[in-house]
C-alpha cells in the first residue's frame, strides 16, 4: 500500500511539470517560425529591390508596385512633384492656345486681333518656363527646389492659364461654327470638283458617241453597196442633165458622207417647196460612200421632179494638195502626229479640245464650201445646207434677197458678249489683232446663200488660202471651218432674219417650240444629232418625220426605232 501511494503522488507531480514544459516549448516554436518567416519575407523583398536609387522612375502596375511607390515616396521631393504638375499644366494650355491659333489661320477668320492675342499668350507661356531665374532655381538645380520661387512660378502659371481659359471660352463657339462652315465649304468644293470631272467625262463620251458611226447607218451603207454589187446594170453612169448647170433654177450644195441625213435634207426641201421641179441638189460625198449615195437616189427618186446630182470629192480634179492648203497640211507629219499620236490619257482632261483633234475638222468634205465658185462655174447663186438641218418652209425667197453686193447671206449668232470674233480667233496674234475686230458678230454655217459672182469678184477663195496657209501651226485659230469662214467673209456677210435659221437643236434643250415652228430651217448643230440614240427626244420627231420609212433598207436597219 505504501509503495503504491508514493508512486501515485510522484506520478502526479511529474505529469504536471511535463505539461508546462510542452506548452512553453510550443510557444517558442511558433514564435521562432513567425520570426523566420518575417526574416525570409524581408530578405526576399530586399533581394528583389536592393536599392531605391536603381529603381525605374516609371513604376510598374503589377507585382510589388505598392512597395516600390512607398520607398519612392519616402525618398522623393514633394516640391519637385508639385513643380512637374505645374509645368505640365502650363505646357498643356500652351498647346491648346496654339491649336486655336492654328484654327484661326486655317479658317482665315477676320479676327487678326484675337489671333495675335493667342500667339502672344502662347509665346508668354513658353517664355515663362524658360526664364533664367526659373531655369536655375527650379529646372536645373540639383539641390532641393526653392519653395518661394516655386510659389511665384505657380502664381504666374495660374494667371496665364486663367487668361487662356477665358479667351477660349469667349471664342470657342464662333470657332466651332466657323469650322462647320469651313467643312461645308470644303465638301462643296470637293463635290464641285467631282461634278467638273463628271462633266468632262460626259462631254468626252458624248463626243465619242457623236463622231462614231451608229450601227444602223453602217448597216444602211452596206446594204446599199450590196445592192449595187448584186445589180450593177441598174446603176450605170447617166448623162449629165442640163438642169445641173441652169442658173435660172434653185441650186443647193450638200456635202456629206451620211446617206440618211442627206436624204432627209433633200426630202424636207422638196416637200415644202411650191415648185419642186425647179430645185437642183448637188450632193458631194467621199469615194467610199459614193456608190451608196447613188443607189439611194436611184432607188428612191426625189418627188416632184427635183434633180439630184451625186459626185465624189475626187471628181473635182483641181482639188489637189498643190492647190488646196488643207490637203497639203493633212500630208504634214506634224499634223498627223497632232491627230493620231496624241496621248489618250489626256483625252478626258480637255474634252472641248477633242473636237479639234477629229480629222473630220480638216476633211475636204468640210472645206469644200470654200470652193463653190470653181465647183459650179456656171451658177450665180447657190444655197449651202449642212446635212444636219431640216427644212420646214419654201426657201425660194432666199434667192430674192438683195445681198447689197456682199458674198454671204447668213443668220448672226451673237448675243451680248457671246459668239463674237474674239471667241473664235486668237487675238493675241498680231496679224489677227491688226485685221479684225474682236467684238464683230459671228454668224452661222449650215444655211448660207452665196452670191458666187460677188465671191469671184472679191477673190474670197484666195483670201481663204492666204489665211489657211498662215494657220499651219494652228496659231490663229483651232482647226475648224467657222473661223476661216469668219475671216474669209469678214465685212462681206449680210445678216438675215433669224427666222430663216434656228440653231441649237443638237445641244440646247431650251429652245421654244414657237421659235422652232416659225423657222424656215432648223439646225441640229451640236453632238446630239437626230439619227443618234443621244438625240433630244423633244426635237427628234421633227427630223424622223422626213425619214423615208418605206425604203426597205431603212426598215431592215432599224432606223427610227
* 52-61, 285-294, 414-423, 516-525, range with the lowest pLDDT: 52-61
Q: What is the mean pLDDT of residues 500-522?
A: 95
Question: What pLDDT is recorded for position 14?
Answer: 47
- pLDDT above 90 covers what percent of the chain? 47
Q: Give me the phi and psi of 253, to 5 degrees please.
A: -115, 125
- Could you tell me the pLDDT band of residue 7, with boundaries at 50, 70 and 90? very low
**Radius of gyration of the chain from its Cα atoms, rounded to whole angstroms:** 50
Burial 51-61 (b: 16+ CB within 10 A, else e): eeeebeeeeee
Q: What is the mean pLDDT of residues 10-18?
A: 48
Residues whose CB falls within 8 Å of the CB of residue 436, separated by 6 or more in sequence, listed in order: 421, 425, 427, 487, 490
Question: What pLDDT is recorded for position 555?
Answer: 86
* 158-172, 239-253, 278-292, range with the lowest pLDDT: 158-172
Three cell numbers written together for 44: 526576399
Question: What pLDDT is recorded for position 432?
Answer: 95
CA distance 82 to 370: 95
Question: What pLDDT is recorded for position 360?
Answer: 61
* pLDDT exceeds cutoff 60 at 438: yes
* pLDDT exceeds cutoff 90 at 418: no
Say if pTM beats, i.e. exceeds, 0.75.
no
- Which has more confidence, 401 or 25? 401
Question: What pLDDT is recorded for position 59?
Answer: 41
Spatial CA neighbour of 471 closest among 460, 462, 483, 459: 483
Placement of cell 432599224 in the chain: 558
Residues whose CB falls within 8 Å of the CB of residue 393, separated by 6 or more in sequence, listed in order: 272, 519, 520
Three cell numbers written together for 341: 499620236
Question: What pLDDT is recorded for position 404?
Answer: 95
Question: What pLDDT is recorded for position 90?
Answer: 74
Q: Are 178 and 107 in contact (CB under 8 A)?
A: yes
pLDDT digit string, tens, across residues 211-232: 677 888 889 999 999 999 998 8
Placement of cell 483670201 in the chain: 463
* 59-68, 111-120, 468-477, range with the lowest pLDDT: 59-68
Spatial CA neighbour of 447 closest among 513, 520, 544: 520
Question: What pLDDT is recorded for position 544?
Answer: 93
- Which has more confidence, 39 or 556? 556
Give the strands of the sheet with 381-385, arranged side by side.
Answer: 307-312, 279-285, 250-255, 381-385, 447-451, 408-410, 493-495
Spatial CA neighbour of 357 closest among 345, 373, 342: 342
- Which has more confidence, 210 or 329? 329
Question: What pLDDT is recorded for position 13?
Answer: 45
Q: Are 421 and 391 in contact (CB under 8 A)?
A: no
CA distance 358 to 338: 10
- Could you tell me the pLDDT band of residue 11, with boundaries at 50, 70 and 90? very low
Q: Give me the phi and psi of 236, to 5 degrees please.
A: -75, 170
Most confident option among 34-38, 139-143, 160-164: 160-164
Q: Helix (H, G, I), strand (E, B), or coil: what is residue 395?
A: coil
Question: What pLDDT is recorded for position 88?
Answer: 78
Burial class of residue 329 in the structure, from the number of CB atoms within 10 Å of its CB (0-12 exposed, 13-18 middle, 19+ buried): buried
Three cell numbers written together for 291: 456608190
Most confident option among 332-341, 355-364, 526-535: 526-535
Strand 389-391 versus strand 521-523 pairing type: antiparallel
Question: What pLDDT is recorded for position 411?
Answer: 97
Question: What pLDDT is recorded for position 178?
Answer: 65
* Average pLDDT value for the chain: 80
Question: What pLDDT is recorded for position 345?
Answer: 45
As a whole number of Å, the end-to-end CA separation of the chain is 148
Question: What pLDDT is recorded for position 179?
Answer: 67
- Could you tell me the pLDDT band of residue 21, with boundaries at 50, 70 and 90? low
Q: Helix (H, G, I), strand (E, B), or coil: what is residue 391?
A: strand
Q: What is the mean pLDDT of residues 255-274?
A: 96
* pLDDT exceeds cutoff 70 at 434: yes
* Region of residue 497 (left: phi > 0; alpha: psi -120 to 50; beta: else): beta
* 31-45, 46-60, 451-465, 547-561, range with the lowest pLDDT: 46-60
* pLDDT exceeds cutoff 60 at 5: no
Three cell numbers written together for 558: 432599224
Q: What is the mean pLDDT of residues 316-343?
A: 77
Q: Helix (H, G, I), strand (E, B), or coil: what is residue 494?
A: strand
pLDDT digit string, tens, across residues 165-186: 777 676 666 666 666 777 888 8
* pLDDT exceeds cutoff 90 at 146: no
- Could you tell me the pLDDT band of residue 89, with boundaries at 50, 70 and 90? confident
Q: What is the DSSP string of 170-206?
A: HHHHHHHHHHHHHHHHHHHHHHHHHHHHHHHHHHHHH
The DSSP element (H or E) to which 256 belongs, if any, is none
- Could you tell me the pLDDT band of residue 103, with boundaries at 50, 70 and 90? low
* 35-44, 157-166, 376-385, range with the lowest pLDDT: 35-44
- Which has more confidence, 558 or 502? 502
pLDDT digit string, tens, across residues 127-143: 776 777 676 667 665 66
* 132-136, 188-192, 483-487, range with the lowest pLDDT: 132-136
- Which has more confidence, 327 or 155? 327
Question: What pLDDT is recorded for position 313?
Answer: 95
* 48-52, 259-263, 301-305, 490-494, range with the lowest pLDDT: 48-52
Question: What pLDDT is recorded for position 163?
Answer: 77
pLDDT digit string, tens, across residues 47-70: 544 443 443 444 444 444 544 444
* pLDDT exceeds cutoff 70 at 357: no
- Could you tell me the pLDDT band of residue 482, with boundaries at 50, 70 and 90? very high
Residues whose CB falls within 8 Å of the CB of residue 98, separated by 6 or more in sequence, listed in order: 118, 122
- Could you tell me the pLDDT band of residue 295, with boundaries at 50, 70 and 90? very high
Amino acid at each position: 500500500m505504501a509503495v503504491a501511494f508514493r508512486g501515485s503522488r510522484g506520478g502526479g507531480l511529474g505529469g504536471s511539470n511535463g505539461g508546462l514544459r510542452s506548452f512553453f516549448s510550443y510557444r517558442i516554436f511558433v514564435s521562432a517560425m513567425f520570426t523566420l518567416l518575417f526574416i525570409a519575407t524581408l530578405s526576399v523583398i530586399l533581394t528583389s529591390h536592393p536599392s531605391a536609387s536603381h529603381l525605374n522612375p516609371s513604376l510598374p502596375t503589377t507585382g510589388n508596385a505598392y512597395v516600390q511607390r512607398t520607398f519612392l515616396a519616402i525618398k522623393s521631393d514633394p516640391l519637385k512633384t508639385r513643380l512637374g504638375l505645374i509645368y505640365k499644366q502650363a505646357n498643356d494650355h500652351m498647346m491648346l492656345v496654339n491649336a486655336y491659333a492654328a484654327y484661326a489661320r486655317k479658317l482665315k477668320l477676320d479676327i487678326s486681333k484675337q489671333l495675335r492675342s493667342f500667339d502672344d499668350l502662347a509665346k508668354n507661356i513658353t517664355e515663362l518656363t524658360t526664364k533664367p531665374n526659373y531655369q536655375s532655381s527650379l529646372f536645373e538645380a540639383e539641390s532641393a527646389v526653392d519653395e518661394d520661387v516655386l510659389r511665384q512660378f505657380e502664381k504666374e502659371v495660374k494667371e496665364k492659364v486663367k487668361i487662356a481659359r477665358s479667351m477660349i471660352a469667349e471664342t470657342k463657339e464662333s470657332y466651332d461654327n466657323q469650322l462647320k462652315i469651313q467643312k461645308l465649304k470644303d465638301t462643296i468644293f470637293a463635290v464641285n470638283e467631282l461634278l467638273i470631272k463628271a462633266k468632262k467625262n460626259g462631254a468626252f463620251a458624248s463626243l465619242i458617241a457623236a463622231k462614231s458611226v451608229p450601227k444602223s447607218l453602217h448597216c444602211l451603207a452596206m446594204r446599199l453597196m450590196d445592192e449595187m454589187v448584186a445589180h450593177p446594170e441598174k446603176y450605170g453612169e447617166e448623162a449629165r442633165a442640163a438642169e445641173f448647170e441652169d442658173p435660172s433654177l434653185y441650186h443647193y450644195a450638200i456635202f456629206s458622207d451620211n446617206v440618211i441625213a442627206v436624204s432627209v435634207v433633200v426630202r424636207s426641201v422638196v416637200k415644202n417647196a411650191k415648185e419642186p421641179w425647179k430645185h437642183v441638189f448637188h450632193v458631194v460625198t467621199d469615194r467610199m460612200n459614193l456608190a451608196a449615195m447613188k443607189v439611194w437616189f436611184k432607188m428612191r427618186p426625189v418627188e416632184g421632179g427635183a434633180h439630184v446630182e451625186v459626185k465624189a470629192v475626187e471628181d473635182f480634179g483641181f482639188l489637189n494638195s498643190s492647190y488646196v492648203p488643207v490637203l497639203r497640211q493633212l500630208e504634214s507629219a506634224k499634223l498627223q502626229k497632232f491627230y493620231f499620236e496624241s496621248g489618250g490619257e489626256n483625252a478626258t482632261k480637255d474634252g472641248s479640245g477633242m473636237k479639234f483633234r477629229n480629222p473630220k475638222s480638216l476633211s475636204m468634205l468640210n472645206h469644200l464650201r470654200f470652193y463653190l465658185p470653181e465647183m459650179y462655174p456656171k451658177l450665180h447663186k447657190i444655197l449651202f445646207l449642212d446635212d444636219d438641218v431640216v427644212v420646214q418652209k419654201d426657201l425660194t425667197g432666199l434667192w430674192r434677197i438683195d445681198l447689197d453686193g456682199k458674198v454671204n447671206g447668213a443668220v448672226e449668232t451673237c448675243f451680248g458678249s457671246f459668239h463674237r470674233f474674239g471667241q473664235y480667233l486668237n487675238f493675241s496674234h498680231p496679224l489677227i489683232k491688226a485685221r479684225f475686230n474682236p467684238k464683230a458678230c459671228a454668224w452661222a454655217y449650215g444655211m448660207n446663200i452665196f452670191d458666187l459672182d460677188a465671191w469671184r469678184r472679191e477673190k474670197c477663195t484666195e483670201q481663204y488660202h492666204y489665211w489657211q496657209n498662215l494657220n499651219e501651226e494652228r496659231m490663229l485659230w483651232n482647226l475648224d471651218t467657222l473661223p476661216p469662214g469668219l475671216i474669209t467673209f469678214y465685212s462681206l456677210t449680210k445678216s438675215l432674219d433669224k427666222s430663216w435659221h434656228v440653231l441649237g437643236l443638237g445641244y440646247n434643250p431650251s429652245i421654244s417650240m414657237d421659235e422652232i415652228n416659225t423657222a424656215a430651217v432648223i439646225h441640229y448643230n451640236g453632238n446630239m444629232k437626230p439619227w443618234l440614240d443621244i438625240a433630244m427626244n423633244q426635237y427628234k420627231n421633227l427630223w424622223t418625220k422626213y425619214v423615208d420609212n418605206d425604203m426597205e433598207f431603212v426598215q431592215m436597219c432599224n432606223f427610227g426605232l
